[in-house]
Amino acid sequence: MIPAGVGGSAPTSRIRAPRLRRCPRRALVHTDEYNVYARLPAWGYRHKTVCHERGEYARDEDGDGFCEVHVNTMEGCWSLLRSWLRPHQGIS
């Protein structure tokens, strides 16, 4: 299950409280390098990043051909939702 919600701008308090409430401490969280996520280790989470600025969208850290670090799952989820909503012009 992927808990999701509408975010808008993302001050630290809005990242921590609603988005991480269902994640157990020590969970591994993958994000891009947006600076608000730098606090994740201090909050008790393991954290890996990809750097979109360098053109990195996934990384194979151990050389087995499988990209262990990526954020494509969540980005893909939103992409599919947008595509589904487009013909319906949103939900009322």
Q: Which of 17-26, 33-42, 48-57 has the lowest mean pLDDT?
A: 17-26
DSSP 32-67: -S-GGGGGTGGGT-EEEE--GGGT-SEE-SSSSSS-
Task: Summarize pLDDT for 47-75 with one digit per residue, the tens.
Answer: 999 888 898 888 888 889 888 887 766 66
Q: Where are the domains of the chain?
A: 23-88
CA atoms within 13 A on the CB side of 1: 5
Task: Look at the pTM and tell me if it is higher than 0.85.
Answer: no
Are 30 and 69 in contact by the 8 Å Cβ rule? The answer is yes
Q: What are the backbone dihedrals phi and psi of residue 39, each rounded to the nearest 5 degrees, phi first?
A: -80, -10
